[in-house]
Amino acid sequence: MSNLKVLIVGASVAGPTAAYWFAKAGANVTIIERFPKLRTNGQSIDIRTAGVTVMRKMQGMEAAVRAKTTQQEGINFVRDDGRPYAVMKASGDPNQQTLTSEYEIFRGDLAQILYDLTKDNEKIKYVFGEQVASMQQKDDGPIRVEFENGFPTSEYDLVAACDGATSRTRAMGFGCGVRDHIRPLNCWATYFSIKQDLLEGSKMAQLWSTTGGRALGLGPDPSGVNRVGVLGIYPRNNRDLTLPFREAMKQGDDALKHYVAQHFQGTGWKTEEILKGMMSAEDFYASEIVQVKAPSLYKGRFVLVGDAGYSPSPFTGAGTTLAIAGAYTLAGEISRHKGDLAAGLKGYEERMRPMINDLQKIPPGMPALMAPQTAWGIWLRNTFFAFVAWSRILEWAGKFFAGSFGTDKYGLPDYEWEN
């Protein structure tokens, strides 16, 4: 594998993780990222189960993650007046986590950690401000890739799309539309930080919702700001109710901020202060919430990793775990089948499918439980959450909310690496 040339598209989580393991297998890796620099914004994410297993195999990563965790101690589910009706705290056990992970970290901080682990590796080259213009693959030979912004055209033995659920690279490699293989969930989310400390120094996050499937979350940040997540959740039916959100997103951040502000105007709780902070937020980030159900993880020498191939949605708590485990498994299987890319890609698909099928399962009642549509639905949800918290059966609660919260049951192999 020492002469293998690999192109990875996307420098968030899956991309640098795959590069780390491909370099250990002796491959030469180029990572391109369409943004001019590493993106360090985004919401808090969890590393769980198989993700923890892989993290502990990467030298220095677990210590770096522990040093940059959000320090969130749990979640207060609050009423309109701010009083909690349910409290869920971290378990303190990485093998039996609750809604708050022992490895909860902001996406941007995790991306920075993975970049720092790989940027000085002589076998890994980062190219920012670049994206794929076209790909041509003949028979079983290398893929010829042309780039949009001047990076030299070259041939690669393998091209890995790690550029998210709405991957343009997936569309090119599979010869399909960008929204093909996407399963909409009729939800959207925006994330940003505000300078005002509405948590008043607390390390407990707060989650509030109102009618119409509208929810707001406030979380602590060690830097002193508050991190905010805004959710719009619509009924799961055959109508595409996120189209106005996507149209506003195409017009840029200012248009989208006004759309979100109008959607939440006059709803109460702390929305006025939060929306005011949103309008001046410089780290504003937004996305439609979807799942990706690709029929295959590869085509020829083109392969999907992470959200580009199997985004599970935030409601499973498994997106980061799948991205890290998938990147490790791809490099490991190709390394194991030395000189036989087809066998390695087949092994990757066979290893990942059971995990994908398991961790893409959306728990019963989700995402409607996060933000019910009616006042009656909110009362029922609040009563249920209050009972779960009062009964202290957080182990069961974790299993209810995501099958990814328990121990690592997937048995990832210990691959042999050249370096």
Give the span between the Cα atoms of 418 and 82, in whole angstroms.
Answer: 56
Task: Output the DSSP codes for 98-167.
Answer: -SS-TTEEEHHHHHHHHHHHHTT-TTEEEEES--EEEEEE-TTSPEEEEESSSPPPEEESEEEE-S-TT-
Element (H, E) at 298: strand 298-299
Q: What is the pLDDT along the chain (419 residues), one digit of tens a residue?
A: 668 999 999 998 999 999 999 999 999 999 999 999 998 777 778 888 888 899 999 999 999 999 888 778 888 999 999 899 888 776 555 445 455 567 888 888 999 999 999 999 999 999 999 999 999 988 788 999 999 999 999 999 999 999 999 999 999 999 999 899 999 889 999 999 999 899 998 989 999 999 999 999 999 888 888 999 999 999 877 678 899 999 999 999 999 999 999 999 999 999 999 999 999 998 898 999 999 999 999 999 999 999 999 998 877 778 899 999 999 999 999 999 987 999 999 999 999 999 999 888 887 777 777 788 899 999 988 888 888 777 665 545 444 444 444 556 788 889 988 77
Residue type, 3: N
User: Per the structure block, which two tokens stand in for 26?
Assistant: 């002796």
Give the span between the Cα atoms of 25 and 331, in whole angstroms.
Answer: 7
Instruction: Sort 81 into a burial class: Cβ within 10 Å, 0-12 / 13-18 / 19+.
Output: exposed
Is the previous residue joined to 367 through a cis bond, with omega within 30 degrees of 0? yes
Cβ atoms of 72 and 204 closer than 8 Å:
yes
Residue type, 207: L
Domains identified in the chain and CATH numbers: 5-72+95-181+291-359 (3.50.50.60)
The helix, strand and coil proportions of the chain, stated in percent and rounded to the nearest 5, come to 35, 25, 40
User: Per the structure block, which two tokens stand in for 105?
Assistant: 């970290």
Q: In 198-270, which ranges are continuous DSSP H helix?
A: 243-250, 253-264
pTM over 0.85: yes
Cβ atoms of 329 and 322 closer than 8 Å:
no
Give the span between the Cα atoms of 386 and 165, in whole angstroms.
Answer: 34
Give the span between the Cα atoms of 82 and 337, in whole angstroms.
Answer: 57
